[in-house]
Structure 1
């Protein structure tokens, strides 16, 4: 794995690793993430879903851009965190928490806004509260993530308000609950989604199977169910 190690040396390469890649450098990425407790999957040199999730968790913890792309900044942080690691050695069998001795872990992840205004965030929080206030917290984050996923998709309008008030997009708009005052839990769910947590698995839609009558929404490829909502592509 000499080539992979050179690739990881600080300042040597600007190459970006991402989901779908494979090779020695991905093998090393998995080993480094495993060594500090973020990756529990198979060390196979394939940048799949588990490697992507572990990378995003690491980025989240260190206030990096949470995009699953391993560029120079992420590589440098991870290299420092695993500087004493021997690639041929296994991670310790019992590790209480990631031993990030070279880089001091952050006690609190800052609330990044990704360029969203306070009004944008408040509007998303209103939608989360109106649509999912009776759901578990993970379900509320998932609803926020759907709105953010739409924001990044070319299929939808380019602002949170335009997405939320798009005709027939959200039931809470139709019945007026969108104007309810969101609580702090809803606002926190929005910030968690902004910081990269997407329990929906990249969904663009969701619906309640107990009340949905649209053949179109039932025909969307389903990703998962969280609480009363089914999340779809």
Structure 2
């Protein structure tokens, strides 16, 4: 009763299933508060700190109300963390550790922003945003320092959601970016919102 499926068809389906797993995984998360929940319970459920949930939602205390929509930090899969680490390595090679954390933070801020795709994969592969995606250097392995910078940026989501752009003015000129407000300068990179 079963039709024979060509082996090549199965192989193609498997390749597609594994080629794009990051496209649907780490997305901008929200949680609708239910009766009886607390920030502590919500944070524990998602494996993040209560302070981070408060920071993500600009809360000075732990008061929440049923029906309230809370923003939650991006929680990437292992492959997404690797992708972000490789982007940081390629974009900020030769920059300070703080510069690497800031580059990772820009990507995470974009996932949270309504101006960009709501997944790590989507932000990183969004058109011509990042030159390492275009020139293939994103495929090189990340250093231990870049991986640590990504971990730090993930741990501090919500504490500095301002920068959405960065560039090296010695290597690129942009009238679009020149109209943006500078948030900080770290090494050769200018960060903007």
User: Deviation of residue 64 (structure 1)?
Assistant: 3.3
Tell me, yes or no, if structure 1 residue 71 matches structure 2 residue 61: yes
User: Deviation of residue 223 (structure 1)?
Assistant: 1.2
Structure 1 match to 2:171 = 211
User: Deviation of residue 163 (structure 1)?
Assistant: 0.6
User: Deviation of residue 176 (structure 1)?
Assistant: 1.3
How many residues are aligned here? 135
Structure 2 match to 1:115 = 75
Secondary structure class of the residue paired with 2:50: coil
Hey, what's the Cα distance between the residues in 2 that align with 1:180 and 1:145? 20
**Please, what is the CA RMSD of the aligned residues?**
2.6
Tell me, yes or no, if structure 1 residue 146 matches structure 2 residue 132: no
Hey, what's the Cα distance between the residues in 1 that align with 2:92 and 2:159? 14
8 Å CA contact 2:185–2:191 kept in 1: the answer is yes
Hey, what's the Cα distance between the residues in 2 that align with 1:232 and 1:167? 19
Cα 1:164–1:151 shift into 2, 3 Å: same
Task: Give a deviation string over 1:20-79, Cα, whole Å, max 9, x none.
Answer: xxxxxxxxxxxxxxxxxxxxxxxxxxxxxxxxxxxxxxxxxx943421523338xxxxxx
Higher helix residue share: 2
Secondary structure class of the residue paired with 1:203: coil
Higher strand residue share: 2
Larger RCO: 1 or 2 (CA < 8 Å, sep 6+): 2
Tell me, yes or no, if structure 1 residue 202 matches structure 2 residue 192: no
Tell me, yes or no, if structure 1 residue 129 matches structure 2 residue 89: yes
Cα 1:202–1:135 shift into 2, 3 Å: same
TM-score (norm 2): 0.63
User: Deviation of residue 162 (structure 1)?
Assistant: 1.1
8 Å CA contact 2:108–2:157 kept in 1: the answer is no
Hey, what's the Cα distance between the residues in 2 that align with 1:65 and 1:135? 29
Structure 2: tracts of 5 or more residues without a match: 1-38, 40-47, 64-72
TM-score (norm 1): 0.53
